Amino acid sequence: MSVVLSVQNLVQHFPIAGSRSVVQAVNNVSFTVARGETLSLVGESGSGKTTVGRCILGLIDPTGGDISFHGEKIGKKHNVRSRGLRGKIQLVFQEPAESLDPRIRIGVTIGEPLRSLGEKREDRNKRVREIARRVGLSEDALYQYPAELSAGQQQRVGIARAIITDPELIVLDEPTSALDPTARAEIIDLLIRLQKELNTAYLFISHDLSTVRYLSHRVAVMYLGMIVEQGSAQDIFSRPRHPYSIGLLSSVLLPNPNLERRSEVSLQGEIPSPIDLPEGCYLASRCPFVEAECNARMPDADDIGGGHLVHCFKHRNVIDEEKATLDYFERFQEEAEKLLISGH
């Protein structure tokens, strides 16, 4: 598989006005995304997901580390606004309404990225109609204003605007969290279909773990600016190794009262401040497996095969404790299928 995006040891610190301390938003993050692949970044609010996305899009200049696109470094000189790269990396936002200009007709908004690429008007209009059809927007919608569309339709516009330049990578920052369940499911289907047709790579940022389970090939779990565990979606969801991943996954409440993932690993307490991160493992203050070593230094990545990386000294003990290696999301889907097919 050809690697589209490679991020190595990315660090992003934000200065705090009037203070010498910094917000350590991203701490030594490494991952790759291949052609046609979806890598999901999951993790709690403030864990640095959006900041990683913004670094890739060149919206901020990273404090450290390398980002390369097809092996070529992205930086101050060579970035998404440079000639060869323009339109190759696109972004879809969380709040569709906020990302669309209320005074501009939908069709114009969708064609906007082509205009900055200098395409002629007729070509642009033809392409806009073609893309609109692709994402399921009617021809009429092109002459409407954002406020006249439902939230789901607005997000289709956001996606249309992103794919119109034939990008190789799309960063999707919580594209469905503002939507009601039905609209959300439709957008997810659309994203999956488009990826199959266009072979685009997705960096999918989300809190919604059932959606992540459903559409990702690989998953990276972030905690306080670092990726604590990454691997195939199958591995992460059925055999999570890092105590934080286990805590995160067992917190998901699936709509089935009989499926409760009672985990031995319960995370207590509050998250440390990203301004004042501990010397050792960032989870140490909340982790039931903590021992002296964990407070002394941050564990390196341990490769347990198949691209499954875990940053934890104790992950072998964790797996002993966490006997339930069941993928609850899969069981939920099986049960849902039985229930919802009957009666139709």
Partner 1 sequence: MAENSAAGTILNIEGLNVSYPVYETDPVRALRGIDLKVREGEIIGLVGESGSGKTTLARSIMQLISRPGRVDSGRIEYDGRDLATLGEEELRALRGNDIAMVIPNPRTELNPLVTVGMQIANVARYHLSLPRKEAKKMAMAMLEAVQIPDPTRRFKAYPHELSGGMAQRVVMAIALICSPRFIISDDATSGLDVTVQTQVLELLQDLVQQQGASMLFITRDIGITAHYCHQVAIIYAGEIVELASTQNFFDNPQHPYSVMLLSAFSHNPKLRGLWTKVVDAALEGAAESGCYFAARCVRASDKCRAEHPDMREMTDAHSVRCHHPVER
Ligand X SMILES: Nc1ncnc2c1ncn2[C@@H]1O[C@H](COP(=O)(O)OP(=O)(O)OP(=O)(O)O)[C@@H](O)[C@H]1O
Count, residues near ligand X per rule CB under 6 A: 12
Asked if 277 interacts with partner 1 (CB under 8 A), we say no
- DSSP-based three-state secondary structure for 55: helix
Asked if 256 interacts with partner 1 (CB under 8 A), we say yes
**Token pair in block for residue 186:** 């439709």
Stretch touching ligand X by CB under 6 A, among 46-54, 258-266, 283-291, 321-329: 46-54
Residue among 146 and 175 whose Cβ is closer to Mg ion: 175
- Please tell me the distance from the alpha carbon of residue 162 to that of residue 147, in angstroms, as a whole number: 20
Asked if 58 interacts with ligand X (CB under 6 A), we say no
Strand order in the sheet with 89-92: 89-92, 169-173, 201-205, 38-43, 218-223, 226-232, 309-310, 302-303
Residue among 1 and 59 whose Cβ is closer to ligand X: 59
Q: Which of 8, 28, 232, 333 binds partner 1 (CB under 8 A)?
A: 333
Asked if 315 interacts with ligand X (CB under 6 A), we say no
- Please tell me the distance from the alpha carbon of residue 174 to that of residue 188, in angstroms, as a whole number: 11
Helices (H), the chain: 49-56, 96-99, 106-116, 121-135, 151-163, 181-198, 209-215, 233-238, 243-250, 292-296, 315-321, 328-341
* Residue 267 contact among Mg ion, ligand X, partner 1, none, beta carbon within 5 to 8 Å by kind: partner 1
Asked if 25 interacts with ligand X (CB under 6 A), we say yes
- Of the CA atoms within 13 Å of residue 275, those in its CB half-sphere come to 7
Q: What is the full DSSP assignment across 103-130?
A: TS-HHHHHHHHHHHTT--HHHHHHHHHH
In this structure, the dihedral spanned by the alpha carbons of residues 325, 331, 332 and 334, taken in order and rounded to 10 degrees, is 170
* Residue 153: CB minimum distance to partner 1, A: 7
Asked if 342 interacts with ligand X (CB under 6 A), we say no
Stretch touching partner 1 by CB under 8 A, among 7-15, 91-99, 124-132, 331-339: 331-339
Asked if 248 interacts with partner 1 (CB under 8 A), we say yes
Where along the sequence are the contacts to Mg ion (CB under 5 A)? 50
Q: Which of 3, 8, 11, 14 binds ligand X (CB under 6 A)?
A: 14
Contact 131, 163 (CB under 8 A): yes
Asked if 189 interacts with partner 1 (CB under 8 A), we say yes
Asked if 188 interacts with partner 1 (CB under 8 A), we say yes
* Residue 333 contact among partner 1, Mg ion, ligand X, none, beta carbon within 5 to 8 Å by kind: partner 1
- CA-CA distances (angstroms) from residue 24 to 42, 55, 257, 311, 317? 18, 14, 39, 18, 29
Asked if 251 interacts with partner 1 (CB under 8 A), we say yes
Helices (H), 199-291: 209-215, 233-238, 243-250
Residue among 33 and 179 whose Cβ is closer to partner 1: 179
Residue among 49 and 184 whose Cβ is closer to ligand X: 49
Pairing, β 3-15 against β 64-69: antiparallel
Residue written as tokens 């996305």? Answer: 53
Asked if 51 interacts with ligand X (CB under 6 A), we say yes
* Residue 173: CB minimum distance to Mg ion, A: 6
Long-range contacts, 77-84 (Cβ 8 Å, 24+): none
Stretch touching ligand X by CB under 6 A, among 38-46, 83-91, 136-144, 261-269: 38-46
Residue among 110 and 222 whose Cβ is closer to Mg ion: 222
Residues of this chain that interact with partner 1 (CB under 8 A) are: 44-45, 149-150, 152-153, 180-182, 184-185, 188-189, 207, 209-211, 213-214, 247-248, 251-258, 260, 267-271, 332-333, 336-337, 339-344
Residues of this chain that interact with ligand X (CB under 6 A) are: 14, 23, 25, 43, 45-51, 274
